[in-house]
Structure formats: structure tokens, C-alpha cells
Amino acid sequence: MTPRTLAIIPARYASTRFEGKPLAKLGGVSIIERVYRRVAGAVTDVVVATDNERIRAAVEAFGGRVVMTSTTHRCGTDRCAEALDTVGGDYDIVVNVQGDEPFIRREQIEALVGCFAAEDVEIATLARPFRRDEGMAAVESPNNVKVVRDALGRALYFSRAVIPFIRDHERGAWLEHHNYLKHVGIYAFRGDVLRRVTRLEAGKLEGAEMLEQLRWLEHGYRIAVAVTDDESIGIDTPEDLARAEALLESNSENRL
């Protein structure tokens, strides 16, 4: 049976680096509308979860579904859990799609959902291989989170550090000897699991690396990691938006 899947797009107006980001225009269309329309064709239902009336009005104006959530949530996962309870319905899988990912692809959503064909998978996420032309500087950047998987494709650990360390080769040549994976921060959960993980206490690993997914690993949850060749292009700053405009013009596949 095809799983009933709900995509929730958490969207905040307040941002220290880019206030009002979900409503910023990209190719004449708001970022939040672009995300919504790209996700809608890959899931059963989609909803925007926000705490801001301007975003609510914008989503309703283009015909999207939206729910209002608390202003006190510490992260998008918590906002998604509240939205799931508000929407209701018997969904098998809930996909958390960030509201600043206007180039997300249907294939990425399908890869996430496909992970749940294994009954023991509770959470799924994506990663892509670092390319040789990116060099070790990209791998070493703490802004690029790395993930290592077991033989079944489950996450063993996520880190801002370079993992694994390759003992018998010079550091500059590590990309030639290992397929390093960059974490793509899109998640999917079984519905009951989403509710449970929001009640977990933060652990020492999360406190050290400031990575929420380490809380789930530390509490024993199994995270499947699907590999994609598509880059996740998030928009965090006005400069990112300018680069996204250039990308939109240069590649027709990114257009709605």
C-alpha cells in the first residue's frame, strides 16, 4: 500500500540573518510558495506551519493550506509536531521540509519516503557525496555536516568534524580514498515517532555539536540515510537569494 504522507513546511518570519525570508521573491514568486508547490506533487497532503499572520495570509492567497503554531518552539521539529496534532488524520509518514528550500526535488521526497519500506526505520534523512572538485576545504568546513552510515544505510554518527579519519593517507588526499557524505537537512518521521522525539531531553552529543539529530541517535532511534546526487540549496541570507536568482535563470529545471 502507498503510505499516506503529510509534508509540513515550518516557516518563521523572524530571522536575524534574513527577516521575512519566506515571503521574499525568487523569480517573482515567494520562497514559501515555491517550496509548497514543489513538495505538493510528491505527498498526500502538504501544510505550512507558521507563527506569523503575514505568512498565513500569503499562503492562503496562493491557495495553500496553513496552520498557526506557537511562537515559543525551539526548532522546526517541535513546530511540525504541533502542526501534525492540529491537522489530525492518520498519516503514516510526516516529512519536515524547510521553508527555505525552493529547489527541493520530488525525487528527494520520494527517496525519503522509500526508506520506510524497512519496518525498523523510524526516521529518514538525506545525504549527498562530496565531489572531488569541492576539495577537502568543503569537507573540513564545520558548516557542512558529515554523516557516516552502517552497512544497512543507517546513520552511525553526524558531525561537524571530518569523519572518518583516514589514518594511512595525507589529509589532502582523503577525498580520493573515501566517499564522504554531506548531510542534507530534510527529515521524515513515522507519525508517532515525531511526537516522541520532541519530548526527548537534549544529550551531551547534541550539546557539543549543536546538531538536533544527535539527540535522536543518543536515545536509540534508527535514522535511515538515503543518498542523493542533488544538492540542497537553502536560502539563509539575502546573498543566498541573489545566488538562487542566478541559478534559476541558468537552469530551467529549477523553475516551477
Above 70 in pLDDT, residue 256? Answer: no
The C-alpha cell that represents 30 in the structure block: 515567494
Above 70 in pLDDT, residue 255? Answer: no
- CATH number of domain containing 248: 3.90.550.10
The reported pLDDT for the residue numbered 236 is 81
Based on the fold, state whether residues 94 and 111 are members of the same structural domain.
no
Based on the fold, state whether residues 132 and 187 are members of the same structural domain.
yes
Domain containing 110 equals 105-231
Based on the fold, state whether residues 128 and 216 are members of the same structural domain.
yes
**What's the average model confidence in pLDDT over 10-22?**
85
Based on the fold, state whether residues 246 and 204 are members of the same structural domain.
no
The C-alpha cell that represents 158 in the structure block: 553526524
| Cα angle 114, 118, 120; round to 5 | 130
Could you report how far apart the first and last alpha carbons of the chain are, in Å? Answer: 29
Based on the fold, state whether residues 7 and 78 are members of the same structural domain.
yes
List residues bridging with 6 in a β-sheet: 45, 94
Based on the fold, state whether residues 161 and 241 are members of the same structural domain.
no
Q: What is the pLDDT of residues 139-159, one digit of tens each?
A: 999 999 999 999 999 999 999
Based on the fold, state whether residues 52 and 88 are members of the same structural domain.
yes
The maximal CA–CA distance of the chain, rounded, in angstroms, is 58
Handedness of CA 253, 7, 127, 135 (dihedral sign): positive
Q: Are 52 and 13 a contacting pair, CB within 8 Å?
A: yes
Q: Which of 145, 152, 111, 115 lies closest to 130 in space, CA to CA?
A: 145
Q: What is the pLDDT of residues 180-225, one digit of tens each?
A: 999 998 999 999 999 999 999 989 999 999 999 999 999 999 999 9
Based on the fold, state whether residues 38 and 71 are members of the same structural domain.
yes
Based on the fold, state whether residues 55 and 136 are members of the same structural domain.
no
Which residues are within 8 A (CB) of 99 and not within 5 positions of it... i.e. 6 or more apart? 9, 10, 11, 12, 21, 22, 31, 32, 35, 48
Based on the fold, state whether residues 223 and 113 are members of the same structural domain.
yes
Question: CA–CA separation, 254 vs 248, rounded Å?
Answer: 6
Whose grid coordinates read 524547510?
Answer: 98
Question: CA–CA separation, 127 vs 135, rounded Å?
Answer: 17
Between 69-78, 85-94, 104-113, 126-135, the lowest mean confidence (pLDDT) is in 69-78
Based on the fold, state whether residues 29 and 47 are members of the same structural domain.
yes
Based on the fold, state whether residues 111 and 225 are members of the same structural domain.
yes
Query: How many structural domains is the chain composed of?
Result: 2
How does DSSP classify residue 13?
Answer: S
pTM of the model: 0.90
